[in-house]
Amino acid sequence: MNFLVVGGAGYIGSVVVGELVRSRRSAIILDDLSTGHRDAVAPLAYLIEGGLNDPAKLREAFTTKEIDCVIHLAARSIVAESVGDAAGYRTANVELPIRLLEAMREHGVRDIIFSSSAAVYDAGAPMPLHERSAVKPSNPYGATKLEFEQILRERTALGEIRHVTLRYFNVAGASIDWGEDHRGETHLIPLLIDAALGARGPVPIYGTDYPTPDGTAVRDYVHVVDVAEAHLRAARYLAEGGESATLNLGSDRGASVREVVRAVERVTGRGVPTVDSPRRAGDPPVLIASSGEARRVLGWRPQFGELDAMIETAWEWRRRFPEGYKA
């Protein structure tokens, strides 16, 4: 099978592409490298450097090889940033991806796997969150994900496409070769690892007065290799005629920010400086998945359940690549 992976030079995309190549699928990547890295692309994959806003690059992406399935991971995805730039987020996460759907139609490609997020849910809904739990994004980022999900459902109803939407919870860890390296990192685990290494100052803990056992926000961490594996299964599922579906990907358990800090201290054997800070706009107190549907529909069996094991892989990767990606 030939895959077009949009955003394949990013954190999750690099691991997805790594797994595709390892299982002898061919991967064309379209990535503008706005937050991704040339060095994050597996040597056997083919990178087209360009964005969804560039019609010539989009055409090249669909004509270099006959594409069987599109994996769409490209997005702007910083919750706090989205609060101040809702219009920019809508352009990046809804309007540009519509051009991807147009290109799929033009080139006769029907199957798409879309990276959605736990941010679509109503944070006031009872936990754990099922796919049928109420949706009500707490921030513009989540609103853009929900809007594009809806567009996929509409086009599926018209018979134009078939889709699997994967609602990731907090993706963590690394594969042997590919890991997380964002300029201006906002994700908790890499920030804590940096702080453990003395590469940055104290990590702010945003919100210590949430209605949670220790007052800090609770999230569900899922390993990036397990997330990548779900994409391969979703592609096979669609190719075998499976019905379009929306599925959570999480580990079905929550960890508070302070629990993650302690886990990073255990794994690294180092102290991690933190500083208690006010809540951040758009951050819900608790998000925990129920991923039973992904297990049932895709036969997905995550290998990593324990937070410490996930953090170990991020720590390992960071020790192998202390400076992250060069390019």
Ligand X SMILES: NC(=O)c1ccc[n+]([C@@H]2O[C@H](COP(=O)([O-])OP(=O)(O)OC[C@H]3O[C@@H](n4cnc5c(N)ncnc54)[C@H](O)[C@@H]3O)[C@@H](O)[C@H]2O)c1
User: How many Å apart are CA 39 and CA 37, to the nearest integer?
Assistant: 5
CA nearest to 220, candidates 177, 189, 252: 252
The distance of closest approach from Cβ of residue 158 to ligand X in the complex, given in angstroms and rounded to an integer, is 24
Q: Contacting ligand X (CB under 6 A), which of 4, 42, 73, 152?
A: 73
Asked if 12 touches ligand X (CB under 6 A), the answer is yes
Q: Contacting ligand X (CB under 6 A), which of 4, 5, 11, 174?
A: 11
The distance of closest approach from Cβ of residue 211 to ligand X in the complex, given in angstroms and rounded to an integer, is 23
Asked if 291 touches ligand X (CB under 6 A), the answer is no
Q: Are 170 and 222 in contact (CB under 8 A)?
A: yes
Write phi, then psi, for 134 (nearest 5 degrees): -65, 140
Asked if 302 touches ligand X (CB under 6 A), the answer is no
How far are the Cα atoms of 55, 63, 82, 250 from residue 283, in angstroms, in the given order? 35, 41, 12, 18
Write phi, then psi, for 296 (nearest 5 degrees): -70, -50
User: How many Å apart are CA 70 and CA 245, to the nearest integer?
Assistant: 15
Q: Which of 30-38, 189-197, 270-278, 301-309 is the region at the interface with ligand X (rule: CB under 6 A)?
A: 30-38
The distance of closest approach from Cβ of residue 117 to ligand X in the complex, given in angstroms and rounded to an integer, is 4
Q: Are strands 111-117 and 69-72 parallel, antiparallel or unpaired?
A: parallel
Task: Express the helix, strand and coil content of the chain in percent, nearest 5 each.
Answer: 40, 20, 40
Token representation of residue 264: 């990073």
CA nearest to 274, candidates 194, 211, 218: 194
Asked if 234 touches ligand X (CB under 6 A), the answer is no
Asked if 100 touches ligand X (CB under 6 A), the answer is no
Asked if 36 touches ligand X (CB under 6 A), the answer is yes
Asked if 10 touches ligand X (CB under 6 A), the answer is yes
Taking residues 101 to 130 in sequence order and writing x for each that binds ligand X by CB under 6 A, - otherwise, the string is --------------x-x-------------
Asked if 35 touches ligand X (CB under 6 A), the answer is yes
Q: Which of 10-18, 211-219, 270-278, 284-292 is the region at the interface with ligand X (rule: CB under 6 A)?
A: 10-18
Q: Which of 8-16, 101-109, 155-163, 264-272 is the region at the interface with ligand X (rule: CB under 6 A)?
A: 8-16
Q: Which of 120-128, 165-173, 290-298, 307-315 is the region at the interface with ligand X (rule: CB under 6 A)?
A: 165-173
Q: Are strands 218-219 and 255-256 parallel, antiparallel or unpaired?
A: antiparallel
Asked if 77 touches ligand X (CB under 6 A), the answer is yes
How many CB atoms are located within 10 Å of the residue 134 CB?
A: 11
Choice between 55 and 201, CB closer to ligand X: 55
Catalytic residues: 141
Burial annotation 4-42 (CB, 10 A radius, 16+ → b, else e): bbbbbbbbbbbbbbbbbbeeebbbbbbbbbebbbeebbb
The distance of closest approach from Cβ of residue 156 to ligand X in the complex, given in angstroms and rounded to an integer, is 19
Residues lying near ligand X in the complex (CB under 6 A) are found at 6-7, 9-13, 30-36, 51-52, 73-75, 77, 92, 96, 115, 117, 168, 170-171, 182
